[in-house]
Amino acid sequence: MSYTSEKPTVLTIGTFDGVHLGHQKIIERLTKTSESEGLESVILTFFPHPRMVLQQNSDIKLLNTIQEKIELLERLNLHTLIIHPFDKTFSELSAEEFVQKILLEKLNLRKIVIGYDHRFGKNRTAGIHELIEFGQKYSFEVEQISAQEIDEVSVSSTKIRKALEEGNIALATSYLGYPYYFSASVEEGKKLGRTIGFPTANLKVSEDYKLIPKTGVYIVEADLEGQQLRGMMNIGFNPTVGGEHQTLEVHLLDFDQDIYGKSLKISFLERIREEKKFASLDELKAQLHQDKQTASDFFKIS
């Protein structure tokens, strides 16, 4: 680690995938402790996700890209955010080596605020009890956050992933504390939507580890270079026209500009329906009109 803290720190550690309400609770405790005890607040997180490194066949999908995670964490009044590269060498550090070489020597640790279930060190062999013992040995304080304090329902990134994979946008939003989103570039598509009166922007998410919600039709908001737009989005295979590959297509309401090559941030607000194969393009077109009305009603567009 190249970063060294000159000032004594209060620290929390985690992958913080989703930066959800449970994470926010820990970080709020961190920043309050920082203010009351005159310590620098530090978050130590990792990239790639440890499972990507330690389980070579892992196809884990994450709620945040690394850039999204930085943006979400930097909103939370921290002094310092450290993204430590996670590799095989780092994973081989014993729990005590991690405490000595990283937390004490580099980060000048005085206090650590940590969830009740945190595991660390080689093979994740150490937990909260070992951390308390290290604190007594090396003179730093351990503040444990219980499951009840984080959330009565024990919010977790795993539950949010499951909700999104099932298309349960309302549940995911309630756990996250904000609408789930991704950023994507607009690419040339087959332009079939234009021929039936529903032009769509064909989207490409560059990070293959970013979780895409369940196939279906969604009500979304789109941020185009700061301009807030409304739309409906299809995630699926376009079975009516013989599609073979999954596509991400958004139809923006009351908008008709060339945005090829630009980036859109898509936020998911509600799922309308499953994707289905229609008997004809006319049936598909009729359903799209119905979907558009549903989206317009959602946004109260006349």
Q: For each of the chain's 302 residues, which pLDDT tens digit applies?
A: 778 888 999 999 988 899 998 888 889 989 999 999 999 999 999 998 877 877 766 788 999 999 999 999 999 999 999 999 888 888 899 999 999 999 999 999 999 998 878 889 898 899 999 999 999 999 999 998 877 766 544 567 889 999 999 999 999 999 999 999 999 999 877 666 566 678 889 999 999 999 999 999 999 999 999 999 999 999 998 766 666 688 899 999 988 888 999 999 999 999 999 998 888 888 888 999 999 999 999 998 74
Instruction: Please check whether residue 265 lies inside any domain of the structure.
Output: yes
Q: DSSP letter for 104, please.
A: I
Q: Which residues lie below 8 Å from residue 23, measured CB to CB, with a gap of 6+?
A: 14, 16
The answer on 119 and 188 residing in a single domain is no
Task: Please count the structural domains in the chain.
Answer: 2
Residue 33 φ then ψ, to 5°: -65, -40
Q: Which pLDDT score is estimated for 199?
A: 85
Q: Which pLDDT score is estimated for 99?
A: 95
The answer on 238 and 207 residing in a single domain is yes
Q: Which two tokens stand for residue 107?
A: 């980060």
Residue 251 φ then ψ, to 5°: -105, 115
The answer on 114 and 68 residing in a single domain is yes
Domain holding 202, by residue range, is 179-299
DSSP lists the bridge partners of residue 83 as: 45
Instruction: Please check whether residue 186 lies inside any domain of the structure.
Output: yes
Instruction: Please check whether residue 167 lies inside any domain of the structure.
Output: no
The answer on 88 and 38 residing in a single domain is yes
Q: Would you call 59 exposed, middle or buried from its count of C-beta atoms within 10 A (0-12, 13-18, 19+)?
A: exposed
Q: Residues 231, 250: contact at Cβ < 8 Å?
A: yes
Q: Distance between CA atoms of 190 and 244, rounded to whole angstroms?
A: 13
Distances (CA, A) of 99 to 23, 60, 258: 22, 28, 53
Q: Distance between CA atoms of 43 and 274, rounded to whole angstroms?
A: 40
Q: Distance between CA atoms of 225 and 97, rounded to whole angstroms?
A: 45
Q: Which pLDDT score is estimated for 174?
A: 93
Instruction: Name which of 208, 205, 293, 195 is nearest 240 in CA terms.
Output: 195
At 74, which CATH number?
A: 3.40.50.620
Q: Which two tokens stand for residue 36?
A: 């009351």
Q: Distance between CA atoms of 137 and 130, rounded to whole angstroms?
A: 11
The answer on 237 and 143 residing in a single domain is no
Instruction: Please check whether residue 277 lies inside any domain of the structure.
Output: yes
3-class state of residue 208 by DSSP: coil
The answer on 194 and 153 residing in a single domain is no
Instruction: Name which of 108, 140, 113, 106 is nearest 32 in CA terms.
Output: 113
Q: Which residue has the tokens 């309308």?
A: 272
Which segments of 177-282 are extended strands (E)? Answer: 181-187, 201-204, 216-224, 227-236, 247-252, 263-273
Q: Residues 248, 203: contact at Cβ < 8 Å?
A: yes
Helix 169-176 × helix 157-165 angle, to 10°: 160
Q: Which residue has the tokens 């317009």?
A: 296
3-class state of residue 290 by DSSP: helix
The answer on 191 and 84 residing in a single domain is no
Q: Which two tokens stand for residue 249?
A: 């297509």
Q: Distance between CA atoms of 109 and 34, rounded to whole angstroms?
A: 12
